Structure 1
Amino acid sequence: MARVELEGLEALINAVQRLGSEGKKIENKALKEAGAVMQEAIQNETPVRTGKLKESITVSGVRTQDGVKYVAVGPSKEAYYGKFLELGTVKMRAKPFMAPGYENGKDRATATIKEELRRGLGL
């Protein structure tokens, strides 16, 4: 699963948190939109043989761990073989798609979060 961490957005995040429950909705929407951007970027890098792996790339709901909200993006459990492609095996060379997808999408995902937070705050 890809994970995006943002730095330098403290002021926006603090403003969202001050809004209470409405702020949580704005924050969740921003994370889901960024997750969709990452999903597309990863799918663009996913090798296609049957298309099952590409279709299995999903965005989780908003989760919280150690006080940090995030969404997870990656193949579902049915496409377990994605990890073999990403990391390789003893008999197969790695064909990464998650890492390149993350690298290609992280800037757009960050921009999406910023834009959604600004829009939600009316800035």
Structure 2
Amino acid sequence: MDDISGLTELQAAINTMAVDLKKSLPDIVMASADVIEREIEIRAPERSGNLEKAIDTYQQTTDTQVTAIVQVDDSSPNQKEHYAIFQEFGTSKMAARPFFRPGIEAGRDKASNILIDGILGVIDEHAG
């Protein structure tokens, strides 16, 4: 039986690809989250414009994971944009005017495609 040759080179190529993917992933995840952020901002009520300005994206990166969080800054009780939750879900005296959840839904496919294309792009760089 013949020995399989090239396994060492294959392992080295996979390791290099993994390093490159780890370097690229934060930018890919943020590009995806930015789509969601823009879709939410488009739908935010425009009374003063403060709510739209308060929508922001943050990234958390560890050795094993990259996470992007889109949120309304200053939205906890007694903060400047605390009314965001009332806009989204309504109150007993005010109808809901959802903007956050519809923004997520509107950007979901494009954001997913950015993630997929970004990851496949890194893989493709190493495939040839």
When the two structures are superposed, what TM-score results if normalisation uses the length of structure 2?
0.72
Aligned position for 1:93:
95
Aligned position for 1:29:
27
User: What is the percent sequence identity of the aligned residues?
Assistant: 25
Q: Distance in 2 between matches of 1:74 and 1:63?
A: 17
Q: 1:112 to 1:85 in 2, by over 3 A?
A: same
Contact preservation (8 Å) 1:86, 1:96: yes
Q: Distance in 2 between matches of 1:97 and 1:71?
A: 19
Q: Is the counterpart of residue 107 in structure 1 residue 109 in structure 2?
A: yes
Contact preservation (8 Å) 1:45, 1:101: yes
**Residue identity matched to 2:97:** K
Deviation at 1:120, TM superposition (A): 2.9
Aligned position for 1:47:
45
When the two structures are superposed, what TM-score results if normalisation uses the length of structure 1?
0.74
**Residue identity matched to 1:69:** V
Q: Which has the higher contact order (CA 8 A, sep 6+)?
A: 1
Q: 1:117 to 1:16 in 2, by over 3 A?
A: farther
Deviation at 1:63, TM superposition (A): 4.7
Structure 1 runs of 4+ with >3 Å offset:
15-18
Deviation at 1:115, TM superposition (A): 1.6
Contact preservation (8 Å) 2:17, 2:122: no
Q: Distance in 2 between matches of 1:118 and 1:56?
A: 33
Aligned position for 1:6:
none
Deviation at 1:108, TM superposition (A): 0.4
Q: 1:98 to 1:63 in 2, by over 3 A?
A: farther
Deviation at 1:25, TM superposition (A): 2.1
Aligned position for 1:4:
none
Aligned position for 2:70:
73
Structure exhibiting the larger radius of gyration computed from Cα positions: 2
Q: 1:49 to 1:112 in 2, by over 3 A?
A: same
Structure 1, unaligned runs of 5 or more: 1-14
Contact preservation (8 Å) 1:53, 1:82: yes
Deviation at 1:119, TM superposition (A): 2.5
Aligned position for 2:119:
117
